[in-house]
A and B are shown apart, each in its own frame.
Chain A
Amino acid sequence: MSRLTRRGFIATGSAVGAVLASPTIVRAQGKVTVGMAWPGMQDAVWSTSHKLLNEFAAASDTEIELVFTAADMDVAKQASDANDLISRGVDVLLVFPIDSKAISSSVKRARDAGIPSMAFLRQVHADARDQADVFVGIDAKYQQLSSARTVFEKMNADGAEISEVLWVSGDIRDENSRLRGVGLQEACDEYGATIAQDLVGNWDPQQAAAALAPALKAYPNINHISVASDVMMSGVRQVLQDAGKWAPHGDENHMYLSSVDVFPIGLELLRSGHLDADTIFDVTGMCRTAVELMPRLAAGETFDSDVLIQGPVFTPANVDDPEMQAQLWAT
């Protein structure tokens, strides 16, 4: 599970499109060399994004060379790697920060050397002295908002009562989890629902189960559970099975479930009809956008806003559409 941080200004939806379709596009001449200071390759997001960035770069109209370094989660090594890339004279420094604060010093060195920088997935901390020239990340708030909104719509169509929602959140210290909670709150506000209880699952199925089991007894009439990541769904399934509420959509015992990420278990539960909506953690979209921005950044174009990717909502009805399948990366 990725941990995201971000500063206040976000560009969502149409703003992303506006950034990408800007009429003031300045194309870099010739080859663009991009130095990648990556945390490592052990995590699925790190390795997948590395692979996808290479694929999109190879297909780009501009010749883009990606120079890859991996820091093995060592903050000091990531700084050294960034220094090496700056010494190499890359055109753009692309950083996937291990630490959102420590990376600021590398961003500063790049700027001192006249090299623009792009932060990927994890933003340079808002309090840091030096910010990256552009941030490409995930719109965490939109993820939960869109997922919950889809379920509320479905409940309306089914004639189900919308009143209270149980919220299985991630890590309380995690900005990503906090923003997903804000997204759920906005969806609830739109449909006149309230969050009955915030249950901290710490991105862990067993902790999610431990928190959800007593809450389900305290709120026996709950008919919608929103989960911060489908990585915790095995714990949710276990609790609902014990409570006799684990049934696919259409069954009278069905519990409406909304979630985020679309990991393999999410796909499985969408197909079985147990999970009603799941917004993807759109690594593909992020990589595509990052590659599109690289030549422009190298050419000296500046960006007023961050670029936050929203990603589509997977539902049982569209889960096997080829277009949706093309978005999958974690399966």
Chain B
Amino acid sequence: MVGEMVDTSQTYVPRDSGVLKLWHWLRSHPALLPVVLSVVMALVFALTVPNFADLRNIMNIFGQLGFLGFLCIGMTYVMVAGGIDLSSYTVVSAAAVVGATVMVATDSTVPGCLLMLVIGLAFGTINGIAIAYLRMVPFIVTLSTMVLAEGFAIWFTQAQSVYGLPYAFIDIFSARILPMTWGISARPVGIPVAGIAVLVAALILGFVLSRTLYGRRVYLTGANEETARISGIRVRRIKFSTYVLAGLMAAITAMILTADLGTATTAMVRDVRLMDIIAATVIGGASLKGGKGSILGSMFGLLFLTMLSNAFNLLGVSPFIAMVIKGTVLVAVIGLDVLRAK
């Protein structure tokens, strides 16, 4: 066959290959990848990991989504709009210690919660103004506010935990409702309010992002800022709003975590969890270049990582092997992001 032209694109992978079809399908429905991954993983773990499918563990996983779910929602909005927020996890601590201090001083829940919201919104506003209006680089700005929030929390508390919160606050935000019994759980297990709260927030904010004019503007801003501007979208306002929303999500996380732990500390969430948040968002279909992603995808991305950690703990796998596997998954997902972009 010397001299004969061969079309390698035709012969390398047949057009009707199932793998290729699946690849094209996943490329066109990026939010479904984490859904498929999570469902497959849940089934495999349910069959192979002892106690994974036990009601107590299911509710445990659901409750853990409440810890990082709000941060994932905030990160999704920011990343879809083409930015990134590295400060969210230290804003959680800053908001928590200030709000908790007021709660302890006044023995009242409302002023402390309001203050947590104010602190979260304040940091979101700082990020938003610096990035949207002063045109500073998101990575640098949020890295700076990350340090600022952490330093503020340590200074404010002198590195001491804030304790003695009103029981009403703890009981409301860390409550478990509708106790039931199933599987090996001899004692009744309730549904964590934190999990329900993040589910409701994900449904509402997922709808806003995917089904409203504002949401489409967020996508267009992230996909191509210049085109968005020419189209009449107030790009600065859109970017600003995503950082403010991220600050709000950090404040809500502060409330949930403070109630769950019964205390507020400067080390409530560490940088390792920031990796989890970004990884969950990217697994969920968000692109580090902006313009892509969904709340549904991010939530399932988070569910995927939470189930992975949970199963490792149930199996007694060394946390360091677990870190290696999670790191590998993250690299693979970022690679997938690059492939998707091509």
Task: Name A113's contact: one of B160, B187, B270 (CB within 8 Å).
Answer: B187
From B93, which residue of chain A is reached at the shortest CB distance? Answer: A75
Task: Name A128's contact: one of B57, B262, B316, B320 (CB within 8 Å).
Answer: B262
Residues of B within 8 Å of A76, CB to CB, are: 67, 257, 260-261, 268-269, 273
CA separation between A204 and B268, bound complex, in Å? 26
Among listed A81-89, A237-245, A319-327, interface-contacting one: A81-89
B10 at interface (Cβ–Cβ under 8 A)?
Answer: no
From B59, which residue of chain A is reached at the shortest CB distance? Answer: A87
A101–B263 contact, CB under 8 A?
Answer: yes
Known: A86-B56, A105-B261. A127 touches B268 (CB 8 A): no
B5 at interface (Cβ–Cβ under 8 A)?
Answer: no
CA separation between A77 and B160, bound complex, in Å? 19
CA separation between A77 and B273, bound complex, in Å? 8
A73–B319 contact, CB under 8 A?
Answer: no
| CB of B198 to closest CB in A, whole Å | 14
| CB of B57 to closest CB in A, whole Å | 4
A41–B320 contact, CB under 8 A?
Answer: yes
Known: A88-B51, A125-B163. A79 touches B310 (CB 8 A): no
| CB of A32 to closest CB in B, whole Å | 14
| CB of B331 to closest CB in A, whole Å | 19
A87–B273 contact, CB under 8 A?
Answer: no
CA separation between A128 and B165, bound complex, in Å? 11
Task: Name A98's contact: one of B51, B54, B267 (CB within 8 Å).
Answer: B267
From A72, which residue of chain B is reached at the shortest CB distance? Answer: B272
CA separation between A83 and B51, bound complex, in Å? 13
* Docked complex: A279-311 residues within 8 A CB-CB of B: none
* Docked complex: B160-201 residues within 8 A CB-CB of A: 160-161, 163-164, 174, 184, 186-187
| CB of B161 to closest CB in A, whole Å | 5
Task: Name B262's contact: one of A84, A86, A129 (CB within 8 Å).
Answer: A129
A52-90 contact mask (Cβ, 8 Å, vs B): 1 or 0: 000000000000010111101111110111011111110
CA separation between A101 and B260, bound complex, in Å? 12
B313–A102 contact, CB under 8 A?
Answer: no
Size class of the contact patch on chain B: 35 or more
Known: A84-B60, A89-B51, A102-B265. A70 touches B174 (CB 8 A): no
CA separation between A114 and B184, bound complex, in Å? 13
A217 at interface (Cβ–Cβ under 8 A)?
Answer: no
Residues of B within 8 Å of A69, CB to CB, are: 313, 319
A74–B270 contact, CB under 8 A?
Answer: yes
Which of A67, A73, A80 has its CB near the most chain B CB atoms (within 10 A)? A80
Task: Name B163's contact: one of A81, A89, A127 (CB within 8 Å).
Answer: A127
B314 at interface (Cβ–Cβ under 8 A)?
Answer: yes
From B67, which residue of chain A is reached at the shortest CB distance? Answer: A76
CA separation between A68 and B312, bound complex, in Å? 10
A85–B313 contact, CB under 8 A?
Answer: yes
| CB of A49 to closest CB in B, whole Å | 15
Residues of B within 8 Å of A89, CB to CB, are: 51, 184
B309–A75 contact, CB under 8 A?
Answer: no
A164 at interface (Cβ–Cβ under 8 A)?
Answer: no
Residues of A within 8 Å of B54, CB to CB, are: 87
B265–A75 contact, CB under 8 A?
Answer: yes
B158 at interface (Cβ–Cβ under 8 A)?
Answer: yes
A104 at interface (Cβ–Cβ under 8 A)?
Answer: yes
A87–B262 contact, CB under 8 A?
Answer: no
| CB of B100 to closest CB in A, whole Å | 11
CA separation between A84 and B319, bound complex, in Å? 13
Task: Name B164's contact: one of A72, A73, A74, A127 (CB within 8 Å).
Answer: A127
A101–B187 contact, CB under 8 A?
Answer: no
CA separation between A85 and B257, bound complex, in Å? 19
* Docked complex: A109-135 residues within 8 A CB-CB of B: 112-114, 125, 127-129
Residues of B within 8 Å of A68, CB to CB, are: 316, 318-319
A198 at interface (Cβ–Cβ under 8 A)?
Answer: no
B63 at interface (Cβ–Cβ under 8 A)?
Answer: yes
CA separation between A196 and B310, bound complex, in Å? 54
A77–B262 contact, CB under 8 A?
Answer: no
Residues of A within 8 Å of B313, CB to CB, are: 67, 69, 81, 84-85, 88
Residues of B within 8 Å of A173, CB to CB, are: 158-160
B263–A83 contact, CB under 8 A?
Answer: no
| CB of B182 to closest CB in A, whole Å | 13
Known: A80-B67, A87-B54, A127-B164. A75 touches B261 (CB 8 A): yes
User: 7 tightest A-B contacts by CB?
Assistant: A84-B313, A87-B57, A74-B270, A102-B261, A101-B263, A70-B319, A67-B316
Using CB atoms and an 8 Å cutoff, list the residues of chain B in contact with chain A: 50-51, 54, 56-57, 60, 63-64, 67, 158-161, 163-164, 174, 184, 186-187, 257, 260-263, 265, 267-270, 272-273, 309-310, 313-314, 316, 318-320
Known: A77-B270, A87-B57. 6 other contacts (CB 8 A): A68-B319, A74-B270, A75-B268, A76-B261, A84-B313, A114-B187
> What would 25 A/B residue contacts be, using CB atoms closer than 8 Å?
A65-B316, A67-B316, A70-B319, A73-B270, A74-B270, A80-B67, A83-B63, A84-B57, A86-B56, A87-B56, A87-B60, A88-B50, A98-B267, A99-B263, A101-B163, A101-B262, A101-B263, A102-B261, A102-B262, A105-B174, A105-B260, A113-B187, A128-B262, A129-B262, A173-B159
